[in-house]
Amino acid sequence: MPVLANEESHRTRHNFIGSEQLLIGILLENKGIAAKTLMKMGVDLANARFEIEKIIGPGKDEPDEQCPLTPRAKKMIAT
């Protein structure tokens, strides 16, 4: 999932992996309890991307190959 979150950061031109990108990574993975629960609740990839982009906007940077995790994202992965 962190690999997919990194790909999402590149797609949106952000130079970090935040909780938003982790959410998209879970949806892209499309398996596991978290993804199945989100889908059961009606969360889909297209709408999640749309809502996230409304909140954080498009990135302006050319991201590094491996984007760093934000403190919140690190905490989410550690839990």
Q: Which residues of the chain have pLDDT under 70?
A: none
Res 60: pLDDT: 85
Res 6: pLDDT: 93
Q: Which domains does the chain have, with CATH numbers?
A: 2-78 (1.10.1780.10)
What is the DSSP track for 54-73?
A: HHH----S---SSPPBPHHH
Q: What does the block give as tokens for 52?
A: 């996230």
The sign of the CA dihedral 19, 7, 62, 78 is: positive
**Whole-prediction pTM value?**
0.88
DSSP-derived secondary structure letter, 17: B
Res 79: pLDDT: 76
